[in-house]
Structures are given as C-alpha cells and as structure tokens.
Amino acid sequence: MEYIYVEFPEKRIVLVDGLASGNTNDTIGVQRGTHTITLSGAPTTPPSQVVTVIDTSFPNPMRIVFN
C-alpha cells in the first residue's frame, strides 16, 4: 500500500484512475504504480496529474498539489 495527499483549497473528491478514492486534504491509500489523479467539480489547474507512487508511508505520503 502506498499513500498520497492531494492538496486543494476546498474539499473535493479525489479520483484515482477515474475512481472516487477519497477527499482532498486527507491521506489516501493507493496501489504502488502510476496513476492519473483528477478532482471532481469545477476545472482545476492542472486538469489532471499522472504520478508514479512508490516508497511512501502514511506519515510521509506523496504530496500532489492542485489550484
């Protein structure tokens, strides 16, 4: 299990490979590997991010920032 933390100024649903997986500003468990991260709701900058998640932990997740 790997972990991401998606930062955004408001609460949104985080989509990992198109599936609702958690909320912004919370730590989310994901499988190791490459994923496309998007947020629900109005457009964001960037619209999506492709990230490779490896060697993370709950206290030290990969941080992904949207505006």
Q: What is the pLDDT of residue 31?
A: 98
Domain boundaries, the chain: 2-65
CA 24, CA 20: separation in Å to the nearest integer? Answer: 11
Rounded-to-integer distance, Cα 18 and Cα 52, Å: 16
User: By the 8 A CB rule, do 54 and 30 touch?
Assistant: no
pTM: 0.95
pLDDT of residue 67: 95
Residues of the chain with pLDDT under 70: none
d(CA 39, CA 46): 10
